[in-house]
Amino acid sequence: MMEGNVRRILSELPEGVILVAAAKTRTADEVRQAVEAGVQIIGENYVQEAEDAFAALGRIAEWHFIGHLQKNKVKKAVPIFDVIETVDSLKLGARIDRECAKLGKVMPILVEVNSGREPQKSGVLPEEAEELVRKLSQLERVQVQGLMTMGPRFGDPELARPYFQETKRLFDQLSKLRIENVEMRYLSMGMSNTHKIAIEEGANMVRIGTKIFGERHYDG
C-alpha cells in the first residue's frame, strides 16, 4: 500500500516540487519502506523519534526537521539533520550555528512563518520575517534557504489558500532583496490535505504524512 501511495504522490507532483515524507509517530521500518518506495527526504517532528530512526537507518535519505525545535535539543539535532525547516528566532539560529561550528558543518535552514498569526503556534510573524532573515544571514554556520509555514488547520483545504498566498508574497519579496548568505530556494507549504492548494500558490516543497503512511499511530 505504501509503495503505491508514494508512487502516486510522486507522479502527481509537478516537476520541481519536492516531497518530504512527514514521519511523525512512524516506526523505522515504515520509514525504510517509504524510502524504498521512492521517498528521498524524511521529515521528523521530534528529535527523540529522529534519533531512534536515524540510529536504525542511518543516512538512507535526507533528513529534515519539521517540528518545533527546542533550544535544548539543538545539540542532538544538528548531527542528524540535513535541513532544519523551523527556525523562528535568532536565539535558535545562533544555537544551531554554535553546534554546527563544533562539527565543521553548515546547516541549511528555512525560516518558519506564522502566517495565521496564531498565538499558540511557533513561527515569526510575516512583518518580522525580513529582520530575522537579515540577522540570521550574519551567522557563519547557517544559511537561510527559504521559508516554511504551517498555516491554520481547516477541514476545507481551500481556506488555507490566503495563508499560502501571504507566505509566497513574503518569499518573493525576500528573494528580490538578494541578502548576502541568503538563497531563497525553498518554499515549504502544505500537508496531506492542503498540498495541492499550496502548490497552486507557489510551494516547491510539501510535507505529506497521512497520504503516504496511512492514519497516524497515537500513544494514548
pLDDT digits (tens, 9 = 90+) for 58-76: 999 999 999 999 999 999 9
Question: pLDDT band at residue 217, thresholds of 50, 70 and 90?
Answer: low
Residue 6 has pLDDT above 90, yes or no: yes
Euclidean distance between CA atoms 165 and 96, whole angstroms: 29
pLDDT digits (tens, 9 = 90+) for 166-195: 999 999 999 999 999 999 999 999 999 999
- Return the sign of the alpha-carbon dihedral for residues 207, 23, 124, 151: positive
Burial degree of 66 (CB within 10 A; 0-12, 13-18, 19+): buried
Strand intervals (E) in 96-200: 107-113, 142-149, 182-189
